[in-house]
Amino acid sequence: MTDGVGRRTEAVPTRERPLALYGKVAIVTGAAKGMGGEISAALADDGAAVVLAGRDLDALERHEAVLNERFADAETLAVRCDVTDEAATANLAPRIVVLGSEG
């Protein structure tokens, strides 16, 4: 699927099982599409707060909306970040610390 939410997360009943990653923060680069989209959906399904990082902010925000709709209690943060740019990566860290301290 183009939104990154695949069959695994569609078939698994959410919130009817222990959330193994509740209270943890996961950072997924390339999170809007393909494998990154699948990984971020699986992490959100397991209860992690997910930082969606990538170069295409519009795609990240669309994927974030899908995750927030699919997993009502999901904590997500879409951040434009080109991991090949050292300064952009350094600016990502303070935003993640804030997300991790909110819960």
Q: 60-79: per-residue pLDDT in tens?
A: 999 999 999 999 888 999 99
- Give the number of C-alpha atoms closer than 13 A to the C-alpha of residue 77, restricted to the C-beta side: 19
Q: Is 17's pLDDT higher than 70?
A: no
Q: What is the pLDDT of residue 1?
A: 38
Residue 49: Cβ-neighbour burial (10 angstroms; 0-12, 13-18, 19+): buried
The mean pLDDT value of the chain amounts to: 82
Mean pLDDT of 32-60: 94
pTM: 0.76
